[in-house]
Amino acid sequence: MAAKLAQADQMTVEEFLAFAQARPEGERWELIEGIAVLSPSPTQWHQIIALNIATAINAAKLRKDAAWIAILGVGTRVPVSPNSLPQPDVFVKSGPAVDSPVTDDALIIFEVLSKSNTKTDQAWRKRVYASVPNCQHYVTLATKTQEATRYDRNDGWQGETVAGPAAVLSLPAIDVKIPFAEIYRWTAIE
């Protein structure tokens, strides 16, 4: 996580969006407490897990003819930190997608953990994602083992961890269950 700057020295979301637009294609930047932070390139397994989550949720969307949709992450406005625009790996939007690099409508937020997600970073993300008004679940997924932790608004953001190849990730906000066999498909994560 970025070092804390004085409010007057922090980049605003609008300044950040202009900055990020001028950067080369393929760079992934986040605004963390007013500081533009370049995220390291994700691993192939990381990307497969994110894609598997979005695919499973969107398959359920089709079956249920639901209004929500899973989208690979874009900048997410977090009210508790107005000069931050973190970019989760996947989010579920309650309504239709729009042509914008930013959302404030994240019903469920997913982070596939990597080496850059320190304990401090994870605690910060949990705190700021909890401030998204309609966010019901924040889910972290491991890349070393088959493990997910779901934090829920309904229980004060207490975490519930499920693990192992037979586990299932339950998402009550959209009435969807995803077996770990689908989430970790095409990876060698045991």
| Structural domain spans, the chain | 42-183
Map residue 134 onto helix, strand or coil: coil
The rounded percent of the chain whose pLDDT value lies above 90 is 90
Buried b (16+ CB within 10 A) or exposed e, 64-100: eebebbbbebbbbbbeebebbbbbbbbbbbbeeeeee
Q: Which residues, 6+ apart, have CB-to-CB distance to 35 below 8 Å?
A: 2, 3, 5, 10, 11
Q: Residue 92 — very low, low, confident or very high, per pLDDT cuts 50/70/90? A: very high
Provide the pairing of β-strand 102-103 with 75-76.
parallel
141: enclosing H helix or E strand: strand 137-141
Q: Residue 3 — very low, low, confident or very high, per pLDDT cuts 50/70/90? A: low
Summarize the confidence of residues 163-186 as an average pLDDT: 98
Map residue 105 onto helix, strand or coil: coil
In this model, does residue 2 exceed pLDDT 60?
Answer: no
Mean of pLDDT over the chain: 95
Residue 190 has what pLDDT? 73
Assign domain 42-183 to a CATH class: alpha beta
In this model, does residue 145 exceed pLDDT 90?
Answer: yes
Residue 125 has what pLDDT? 97
Angstrom distances, CA of residue 105 to CA of 7, 97, 145, 183, 184: 25, 10, 30, 23, 27
Residue 1 has what pLDDT? 58
DSSP state of 10: S
Please write the tens of the pLDDT for every residue from 110-142.
999 998 899 999 999 999 999 999 999 999 999
Summarize the confidence of residues 131-154 as an average pLDDT: 97
Point out the least confidently predicted range of 18-27, 79-88, 105-114. 18-27
Residue 26 has what pLDDT? 85
The rounded percent of the chain whose pLDDT value lies above 70 is 98
